[in-house]
Structure 1
């Protein structure tokens, strides 16, 4: 924490850990924020920073467990301004915060109207200098969400319009980055400029995302040991989930989406998932679940936990996924 001349105070989230927000971290954050007299929170950072700031703004000094248990009763008294710095999924325009509740051994999303920000400030230039790994993993998170929300039974023509727009911009941006060569190459300028589509999609995509909540890939990984690397874990589950969707229901919106992505990649639709995965691997090599420390003995427990604790979002999958199907996906990706 460091005082600034204009009267503001800064709390660096790094002080509480580098992983996704957990209950202990947030309680410490709430306690530290309570040492100041303030009427506005300006959160600048990735999804973790914004999610934690939403909770602090609502909590008013109360513990995270009390906030979760009584969120409808809370009324926020401070102004909340959210400024994203990664290619993430739009936390600054949603009323949702994802919390890893270590005391209960699960990840949960909490939501309420008081958690909407008063202002969402999008500054594309903040993404300049973003490390390649962070760019790849955070934008992949967006790609996964754009695909799943487009396939959601709750999608609408409006949300699908933004979903397909996000897919096109992100995959096209990946192609440009890959063609520009590795970091430090003579074409570094072109490589940096190739990220522009992902910057431009911020406004439209984030508005779309707040309409549909569907995160099968994220929720399948939420109860796993790989949840410390949530964006990577989304990719670990991504094409495996899509292949199983096709096994269950090879018709409807997923066929349209497959053709759409195949056209962007310039490949036969029959090989679209293989081509997509091969292409993304150039930016972020995919890992098997065991490479994250998951054991084969963990899989049944994790499948059970996903079904029992992530029902709120799993019900929005393209097709229902039961325990047996979740276990099958996990084994295939192990």
Structure 2
């Protein structure tokens, strides 16, 4: 049984100039990024690289149509190295570019074709949530199926993850909040995963401590205090990425995918909707074992009784950013059953990595409570 691997080298620089000099960016590089990030932190250096903006391919979370357009554009270049500068969506899209050309993204995500890595990838996160810079996972909506798929194969591991705290200084508060909560979910879900080990627990635990301590400081000192501790959130997201890259995530992610796919809710925000209720369900069904261990850790960090951890967590996260009801996104009551069916049909990979494998009745109940 494999316990742990980390194939990605992690680097940290104070600013983009140090990164450019160290990695010697040149004309054979293909950069995928956002216009704002590039204009703010890279344009002034006059880089001799091929640059494309994610907005060219669409807005919001990646889907197979966006990825196919990107793959087509890339095939017309002679670039040999990929540099992704952005959030999880940008990095997830760029991961497919390391593979041998000529494949449709929907076929890649459904593993209908062989996967062969032939290029190097440098991943530079501009958010503090996805952890995609150190994981072997890419996520996209398959439009014909109206749900998200995750492709988790070692060929997608970035060769280098580059942490540059200054790139997060322009991140709007709402994006900071939902991405940091996403990182917290990655850390907690990976901690209780059946695939977790003593090695992944080290990364999960440190990420949980850093994020929750940071949230508590923000509640005390105000939203702008995040800029003083932004590096902590960037590092914590990376640690959580290493943890879930090995141990996986579970039912929180599984239940969020139909909501994201149908109503185009961002990944971190969608996960936030289901986080507390899924863990309350775990606590009701199987309160011992790893869940008792994580509950004790959470109670120590939040200075509360073990029996109060989910109420205290909900209270803390709502002070960071208010959670909406599912109906506020446009979800209809009759979709509860179809969403549950979609989870059971399409997300067995995630359900099998859950602390408790939920059945349809339990999934429907979670959707109904949150509706």
TM-based fold match above 0.5: yes
Q: How do residues 8-157 of structure 1 correspond to structure 2 at under 5 angstroms?
A: 8-68=49-109, 73-157=114-198
Q: Does 1:179 align with 2:179?
A: no
Deviations 1:114-170 (A, max 9, x none): 222222222233222321111110110011111111111221111112112111110
Specify the SS of the correspondent of 1:108. Answer: strand
* Paired position in structure 1 for 2:246: 211
1:330 aligns with 2:330: no
Which whole-Å CA distance do the structure 2 matches of 1:61 and 1:226 have between them?
A: 30
CA distance in 2, matches of 1:247, 1:316: 18
Tell me the CA shift for residue 9 of structure 1: 1.2
1-side partners of 2:312 and 2:141: how far apart? 33
State the secondary structure of the residue aligned to 2:247. coil
TM-superposition CA deviations, 1:260-317 (whole Å, max 9, x none): 1122212222221111111111111011111111111000000011011000111111
Is 1:273 the counterpart of 2:273? The answer is: no
Aligned-pair CA distance for 1:219? 1.2
Point out where structure 1 has 5 or more consecutive residues left out of the alignment: 183-187
On the 8 A contact 2:63/2:142 being kept in 1, the answer is yes
Are residues 1:250 and 2:287 paired? Answer: yes
Check the 8 A contact 1:30/1:59 in 2, yes or no: no
Q: 272-281 or 197-206: which moved more?
A: 197-206
Aligned residues: 328
Q: Normalising by the residue count of structure 2, what TM-score does the alignment of the two structures yield? A: 0.83
1:240 has 2:270 as partner: no
Q: Is the 8 A contact 2:253 2:350 kept in 1?
A: no
Equivalent residue for 1:223?
258
Contact 1:178 1:283 in 2 (8 A): yes
2:251/2:351 contact within 8 Å kept: yes
Structural RMSD (CA): 2.1
Contact 1:71 1:112 in 2 (8 A): no
**Shift, 1:325, TM fit:** 0.7
Q: Secondary structure at the match of 1:208?
A: helix
Structure 2 unaligned spans of 5+: 1-31, 36-42
After TM superposition, give the deviation of residue 107 of structure 1 in Å: 0.9
State how far apart, in whole Å, the 1-side matches of 2:111 and 2:47 are: 35
Instruction: Assess if the C-alpha contact under 8 Å between 1:176 and 1:194 holds in 2.
Output: no
Alpha carbons of structure 1 residues 64 and 203: separation in structure 2 relative to 1, 3 Å? closer
CA contact (8 A) 1:154 1:316 kept: yes
Distance (whole Å) between structure 1 residues aligned to residue 312 and residue 145 of structure 2: 39
Closer, same or farther: CA 194–180 of 1 in aligned 2, 3 Å: farther
Q: Distance in 1 between matches of 2:237 and 2:270?
A: 22
TM-score by length of 1: 0.92
The answer on whether the counterparts of 1:221 and 1:227 sit within 8 Å (CA) in structure 2 is no
User: Is 2:357 the counterpart of 1:320?
Assistant: yes
8 Å CA contact 1:23–1:100 kept in 2: the answer is: yes
Distance in 2, Cα, partners of 1:154 & 1:80: 26
| Deviation readout 1:87-106 (Å, 9 max, x if unpaired) | 12321222211111011222
Is the partner of 2:232 in helix, strand or coil? helix
Of 187, 193, 198, the residue aligned with 2:228 is 193
> Which residue of the partner structure matches residue 27 of structure 2?
none
